């Protein structure tokens, strides 16, 4: 039986590897970093004796595929805790709760009619089943037609500006539709937001996936950088990993498209051309503050003030519990960046005081000795960009080169990119790879090879 090689040991590569190994295939996963998990990995804070998530990762109680995977992997209910979380808005120098219908209806920047239209926008979104028409419409125009100009200016535009680093003219309406459906799915009967706190965070899932892959005969190799995919006669024949060539005839690349393209040889020009049709991503700069006290009662605090550079204040210990972080409180300040954003290049020594200065305009009582540690995370490829009407440019999983597959977040659309959608997409990828592999074997058998 031949191997299937997966490049990238993030949640997507591991979920695909798990499904393929369970289907009886011999799987090898190659991961460049010393530990698996990718964006869902952890960072150690040795000076405080703890390790925490590199980035914040919420699990919603409506994440059904994730829950199914937890059950499959034996992650029991005793390892999960349902927590009612709060969401707020920082507007005009003040924090406002937006967690309950009452708070929502009393949010000051909006008049009564605006609030009703905002509520109707949410109801309307939940009723839309076919998103295809939405992907032809720019999001701002669509929101204005539903929520009105004032609400779009006061609420939607600041959220979009923050998420898309100022420029959202070419963002389709599907983005807000997906976001609203996901966020309102997580409400309980009293309309309160509920999230799941998994003991050990996403790293628990990563570790169980790795163990389950090994138990099914697969391998996850870390500190292994794939440098090149070898192609001959229109099919995959090998991989070069840290200078060593290995033979293989199935390769699934789970890297962001620009990184995947760099591994392709000239013989894979047809795949390269296909993948180049949609390959823009936003990056992220995310400052993590480890505090000795809580900053806000919210999990997410959205920001409508355009002078504040970060997108929100995410206090994850309001979900995971400070007691699980050695008593420290974790606050993440993310800023999505285009490659030419000055923040993408700002050295930590300048970025940290700049972010702290803005945070202190929001929370003037934040003192230096409240801060136990600071880390800055940077990623070039995080949020794939789908411009208006670009669905046809999304590359298929099965490439024109036999045995070569692409599976990454650009193909997750119109769903938002997150653990839930990655785990669901992994099932689709597994089915497509198994089917393509079967057809290839049948073809070879017909011509008397293999
Ligand atoms: C700030 C932030 C907040 C987020 N919040 C949430 C959230 O609340 N909820 C949620 O569900 N999701 C959230 N996400 C999204 C989530 O992290 C991603 O959707 C998911 O982790 C993507 O997984 P992946 O496997 O596709 O990619 P990645 O995690 O990027 O994995 C790709 C892997 O490939 C490896 N690699 C790259 N090049 C090579 C090479 N040449 N050879 C070998 N290996 C290579 C990389 O090291 C990496 O481990 C968030 C992301 C960020 C950045």
- Residue ranges, comma separated, of all CATH 1.10.3110 domains in the chain are 100-188
Rounded Cα distance between 401 and 404, Å, is: 6
Architecture, CATH, for domain 281-384: Alpha-Beta Complex (3.90)
Q: What is the distance in A from the centroid of ligand 1 to the CA of 11? A: 7
The fold of the 3-40+202-279+390-446 domain, in CATH, is FAD/NAD(P)-binding domain (3.50.50)
Task: From the CA of 263, give the closest atom in ligand 1.
Answer: 41
CB-based contacts of 65, cutoff 8 Å, min separation 6: 420, 423, 424, 427
Q: Is the CB of 298 under 6 A from ligand 1?
A: no
Which atom of ligand 1 is found nearest the CA of 407?
26
Cis amide linkage into residue 441, ω under 30° from 0:
no
Ligand 1 atom closest to the Cα of residue 226 is 42
**Hey, what are 271's tokens?**
């795949």
Ligand 1 closest atom vs CA 227: 41
* Confidence at residue 65, expressed as pLDDT on a 0 to 100 scale: 96
Q: Check if the beta carbon of residue 82 is closer than 8 Å to that of residue 360.
A: no
Smallest CA-to-CA distance from 257 within 419, 349, 368, 386 is with 386
Structure tokens at 168: 């959202």
Please count the residues of the chain. Answer: 450
CB of 387 closer than 8 Å to CB of 172: yes
**pTM higher than 0.75:** yes
- Cα 251 to ligand 1 centroid, rounded to whole Å: 19
For residue 299 and ligand 1, the question of a CB distance below 6 A is answered with no
CATH 3.50.50.60 in the chain: give the residue spans.
3-40+202-279+390-446
Residue 118: per-residue pLDDT: 87
Tell me the CA distances in angstroms from 360 to 297, 322, 357, one per residue in order: 17, 22, 5
What is the full per-residue pLDDT of the chain (450 aa) written as tens digits?
Answer: 578 999 999 999 999 999 999 999 999 999 999 999 999 999 999 999 999 999 999 999 889 999 999 999 999 999 999 999 999 999 989 999 988 877 877 888 888 899 889 889 988 888 898 888 899 999 999 999 999 998 898 889 988 988 888 789 899 999 999 988 887 776 665 667 789 999 999 999 999 999 999 999 999 999 999 999 999 999 999 999 999 999 999 999 999 999 999 999 999 999 999 999 999 999 999 999 999 999 999 999 999 888 999 999 999 999 999 999 999 999 999 999 999 999 999 999 999 999 999 999 999 999 999 999 999 999 999 999 999 999 999 999 999 999 999 999 999 999 999 999 999 999 999 999 999 999 988 888 887 765
Residues of the chain with CATH 3.90.660.50: 281-384
Residue 10 CA to ligand 1 center (angstroms) comes to: 5
Encoded tokens for 124: 């309307």
From the list 169, 106, 100, the residue with the least C-alpha distance to 387 is 169
The set of residues, in sequence order, having a beta carbon less than 8 Å from that of 245 and lying 6+ positions away, is 230, 238, 239
Question: Does 8 sit in the ligand 1 pocket, CB within 6 Å?
Answer: yes
Using CA positions, which residue lies closest to atom 10 of ligand 1?
Answer: 418
73 vs 389: CA distance, rounded Å: 38
| Residue whose CB lies within 8 A of the most ligand 1 atoms, among 11, 34, 38, for a mutation test | 38
CB 59 within 8 A of CB 68: no
Answer yes or no: is the C-beta of 12 below 6 A from any ligand 1 atom: yes
Name the CATH architecture for the domain at 100-188: Orthogonal Bundle (1.10)
């Amino acid at each position: 039986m031949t191997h299937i090689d997966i490049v990238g040991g993030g949640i997507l590569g591991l979920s695909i590897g798990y499904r393929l190994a369970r289907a009886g295939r011999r799987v090898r996963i190659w991961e460049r970093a010393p530990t698996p998990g990718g964006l869902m990995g952890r960072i150690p804070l040795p000076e405080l004796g703890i390790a925490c998530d590199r980035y914040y990762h919420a699990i919603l109680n409506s994440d059904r595929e994730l829950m199914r995977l937890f059950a499959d992997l034996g992650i029991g209910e005793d390892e999960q805790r349902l927590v009612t979380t709060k969401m707020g808005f920082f507007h005009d120098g003040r924090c406002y709760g937006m967690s309950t219908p009452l708070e929502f209806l009393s949010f000051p920047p909006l008049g009564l009619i605006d609030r009703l239209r905002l509520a109707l926008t949410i109801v309307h979104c939940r009723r839309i089943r076919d998103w295809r028409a939405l992907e032809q419409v720019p999001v701002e125009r669509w929101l204005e037609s539903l929520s009105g100009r004032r609400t779009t200016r006061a609420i939607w535009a600041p959220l979009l500006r923050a998420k898309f680093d100022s420029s959202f003219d070419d963002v389709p309406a599907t983005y807000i539709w997906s976001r609203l459906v996901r966020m309102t799915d997580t409400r309980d009967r009293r309309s309160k937001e509920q999230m799941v706190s998994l003991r050990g965070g996403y790293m628990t899932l990563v570790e169980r996936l790795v163990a389950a892959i090994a138990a099914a005969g697969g391998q996850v190799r870390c500190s292994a950088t794939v440098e090149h995919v070898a192609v001959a006669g229109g099919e995959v024949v090998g991989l070069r990993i840290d200078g060593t060539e290995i033979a293989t005839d199935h390769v699934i690349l789970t890297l962001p498209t620009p990184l995947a393209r760099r591994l392709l040889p000239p013989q894979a020009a047809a795949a390269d051309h296909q993948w180049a049709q949609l390959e823009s991503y936003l990056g992220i700069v995310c400052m993590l503050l480890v505090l000795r006290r809580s900053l806000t009662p919210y999990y997410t605090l959205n920001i409508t003030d355009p002078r504040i550079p970060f997108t929100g204040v995410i206090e994850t210990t309001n979900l995971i519990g400070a007691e699980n972080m050695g008593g420290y409180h974790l606050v993440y300040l993310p800023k999505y960046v285009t490659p030419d954003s000055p923040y993408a290049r700002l050295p930590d020594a300048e970025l940290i005081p700049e972010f702290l200065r803005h945070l202190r305009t929001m929370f003037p009582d934040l003192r230096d000795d409240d801060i136990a540690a600071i880390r800055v995370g940077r990623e070039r490829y995080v949020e794939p960009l789908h411009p208006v009407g670009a669905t046809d440019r999304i590359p298929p999983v099965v490439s024109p080169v036999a045995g070569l597959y692409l599976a990454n977040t650009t193909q997750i659309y119109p769903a938002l990119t997150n653990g839930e959608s990655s785990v669901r997409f992994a099932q689709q990828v597994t089915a497509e790879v198994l089917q393509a592999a079967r057809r290839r074997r049948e073809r070879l058998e017909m011509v008397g090879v293999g």
